[in-house]
Protein backbone atom coordinates (compact mmCIF):
# COMPACT_ATOMS: atom_id res chain seq x y z
CA UNK A 1 0.00 0.00 0.00
CA UNK A 2 1.22 3.44 -0.74
CA UNK A 3 1.16 6.42 1.59
CA UNK A 4 -1.69 8.13 -0.25
CA UNK A 5 -3.98 5.16 0.32
CA UNK A 6 -2.99 5.01 3.99
CA UNK A 7 -3.82 8.69 4.50
CA UNK A 8 -7.15 8.33 2.68
CA UNK A 9 -8.02 5.38 4.92
CA UNK A 10 -7.14 7.37 8.04
CA UNK A 11 -9.26 10.31 6.88
CA UNK A 12 -12.24 8.04 6.21
CA UNK A 13 -11.88 6.45 9.66
CA UNK A 14 -11.69 9.86 11.30
CA UNK A 15 -14.78 11.01 9.42
CA UNK A 16 -16.78 7.96 10.50
CA UNK A 17 -15.65 8.44 14.09
CA UNK A 18 -16.80 12.07 14.00
CA UNK A 19 -20.20 11.00 12.69
CA UNK A 20 -20.42 8.43 15.49
CA UNK A 21 -19.67 11.10 18.09
CA UNK A 22 -22.33 13.35 16.56
CA UNK A 23 -24.91 10.54 16.80
CA UNK A 24 -24.14 9.99 20.47
CA UNK A 25 -24.30 13.71 21.26
CA UNK A 26 -27.50 14.36 19.29
CA UNK A 27 -29.42 11.32 20.43
CA UNK A 28 -28.03 10.58 23.86
CA UNK A 29 -26.38 13.52 25.54
CA UNK A 30 -28.72 16.29 24.36
CA UNK A 31 -32.03 14.79 25.60
CA UNK A 32 -30.52 13.72 28.93
CA UNK A 33 -29.00 17.16 29.48
CA UNK A 34 -32.22 18.91 28.51
CA UNK A 35 -34.29 16.81 30.91
CA UNK A 36 -31.82 17.23 33.77
CA UNK A 37 -31.71 21.02 33.39
CA UNK A 38 -35.49 21.28 33.10
CA UNK A 39 -35.61 22.84 29.65
CA UNK A 40 -39.22 23.65 28.74
CA UNK A 41 -38.98 22.11 25.27
CA UNK A 42 -37.29 18.94 26.55
CA UNK A 43 -39.09 15.68 25.87
CA UNK A 44 -40.93 14.03 28.73
CA UNK A 45 -39.04 11.16 30.28
CA UNK A 46 -40.83 8.08 28.95
CA UNK A 47 -40.09 4.69 27.49
CA UNK A 48 -40.15 6.21 23.99
CA UNK A 49 -37.60 8.85 24.93
CA UNK A 50 -35.29 6.29 26.47
CA UNK A 51 -35.66 4.01 23.44
CA UNK A 52 -34.90 6.96 21.15
CA UNK A 53 -31.74 7.79 23.08
CA UNK A 54 -30.62 4.15 23.16
CA UNK A 55 -31.12 3.73 19.41
CA UNK A 56 -29.02 6.82 18.66
CA UNK A 57 -26.40 5.76 21.18
CA UNK A 58 -26.30 2.25 19.72
CA UNK A 59 -25.95 3.60 16.20
CA UNK A 60 -23.07 5.81 17.30
CA UNK A 61 -21.46 2.90 19.08
CA UNK A 62 -21.83 0.74 15.99
CA UNK A 63 -20.22 3.37 13.77
CA UNK A 64 -17.42 3.90 16.23
pTM here is 0.74
Q: Name the residue ranges covered by the structural domains of the chain.
A: 3-63
pLDDT at 19 (0 to 100): 93
CA distances to 20, 30, 51 from 64, in Å: 5, 19, 20
Regarding predicted confidence, which is higher, 8 or 53?
A: 8
pLDDT at 14 > cutoff 90: yes
Q: Which residues 6+ apart lie within 8 Å of 42 measured at CB?
A: 31, 34, 35
Residue 36 to residue 31: CA distance in whole angstroms: 9
Amino acid sequence: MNQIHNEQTKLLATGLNNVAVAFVVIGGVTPVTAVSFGVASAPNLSVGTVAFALIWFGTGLGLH
